[in-house]
Amino acid sequence: MVVLAPILVEVARAFDVSSAAAGQLRTVTGLVAGVAALAFGRFGRGVALRDLLLLGTALLALGSLGSAAAPSFAVFALAQMPIGLGIALLVSAGAAAAADWARPDERTRVLSWTLVGPAVAWVVGMPLVGAVAERSWRLAFLVLPLAASAIVAWSLSLCRKEQLPAVRPLVRLKDLLGDRAVGTWALAELLASSAWAGTLVYAGALFVESYGSSPALTGLILGGAAVAYLPGNFLAARVARARSALALLAPLSLLGAAGVAVLGAVRPGETTSALVLAALVFVMAARTFAAGAYGLELAPDRRLAVMGVRAAALQFGYLVGSGTGGLALLLAGYPALGAVFAALFAAATACYVVLRGSPAAAPAAG
């Protein structure tokens, strides 16, 4: 999910397209992954989570190889499709496994460590991608997602496949989203994910095109900012134990709106923008944890389906964020980009306010 950020401009130059057009690659991934994630409630019912995760790593490896070898922009876009499918499987089954494989009293701690994964990917992956991109951006897909897929698949192969006591109950998407609390939460996740995913897609390009940063320096900046994810994630885990996770979501989304507006409009230098990005990562880490914790307890008997909806919201967020962000960038540059994403965060804030006032929003026991 993070490989394109520091190399977006390099990919655009290689295929002779604009940065805004290259950003639309995430619309391909988002569309495929979003549709796949929504299907989990029906088609993933009788499959062990370990096997779903193994399939996700295989698809991610396939897409990485295709991306590294792509001779044209069209082929490169096609190679993003298995990556999208793999991400959908890994995100949905991974979050569900954090709940299903952990004891109830350990669930919050396990989820917190599970959500550290994206931060580690940023901290380790961004500088690595930036460094190898100095030689060729194609190597980025081989040294990070392909290698990671192999390691994860090997680790999962050492684990016993869990025994399903019964096929998980069929969860129809219409019924799931018909639940007012789940539907409102899902809409808020789509809006917030669109804003944040779009920020991630274009953050590297912002540094390259605003300050002339090299791929290596851009990777270091993005990786350094990602360090802020760790304290944000663990602080949210601590606070969520003492109060409702739902109470955190509106203020954190509002802070996200302010931060992304500043990132787009105020760019006096690399250091300032890097600090703003780090602050945004801290806030988004806390928001991501709070949203995940709330969603897992909102419908305990339908966790895989709910996490599928959340994964779909994240992936459709790449579609919406890349599309709206690319249009804003073409029309009025990075200030407009920040304003559009700020508006999406503000809309998500409104959804969380509605949720807090709804009796149906109280998570079920379990």
SS (H, E, C) the chain: CCCHHHHHHHHHHHCCCCHHHHHCHHHHHHHHHHHHHHCHHHHCCCCCHHHHHHHHHHHHHHHHHHHHHCCCHHHHHHHHHHHHHHHHHHHHHHHHHHHHCCCHHHHHHHHHHHCCHHHHHHHHHHHHHHHHHCCCCCHHHHHHHHHHHHHHHHHHHCCCCCCCCCCCCCCCHHHHHHCHHHHHHHHHHHHHHHHHHHHHHHHHHHHHHHHCCCHHHHHHHHHHHHCCHHHHHHHHHHHHHHCCCHHHHHHHHHHHHHHHHHHHHCCCCHHHHHHHHHHHHHHHHHHHHHHHHHHHHHCHHHHHHHHHHHHHHHHHHHHHHHHHHHHHHHHHHHHHHHHHHHHHHHHHHHHHHHHHCCHHHCCCCC
Mean pLDDT for the stretch of residues 140-162: 87
Mean pLDDT for the stretch of residues 283-295: 87
Is the whole model's pTM more than 0.85, yes or no? Answer: no
Mean pLDDT for the stretch of residues 312-335: 87
Q: Give the range among 73-77, 84-88, 94-98 with minimum mean pLDDT.
A: 94-98
pLDDT of residue 364: 47
Mean pLDDT for the stretch of residues 143-171: 76
Instruction: Report residue 166's pLDDT band, with 50, 70 and 90 as the boundaries.
Output: low
pLDDT of residue 170: 55
Mean pLDDT for the stretch of residues 201-206: 90
Higher pLDDT, 95 or 359: 95
CATH for 4-159+170-361 is 1.20.1250.20
Percentage of the chain modeled with pLDDT above 70: 87
pLDDT of residue 30: 72
pLDDT of residue 75: 93
Residue 42 has pLDDT above 70, yes or no: no
Per domain, the residue ranges of the chain are 4-159+170-361
Instruction: Report residue 255's pLDDT band, with 50, 70 and 90 as the boundaries.
Output: very high
Higher pLDDT, 171 or 78: 78
pLDDT of residue 206: 93
Mean pLDDT for the stretch of residues 91-107: 79
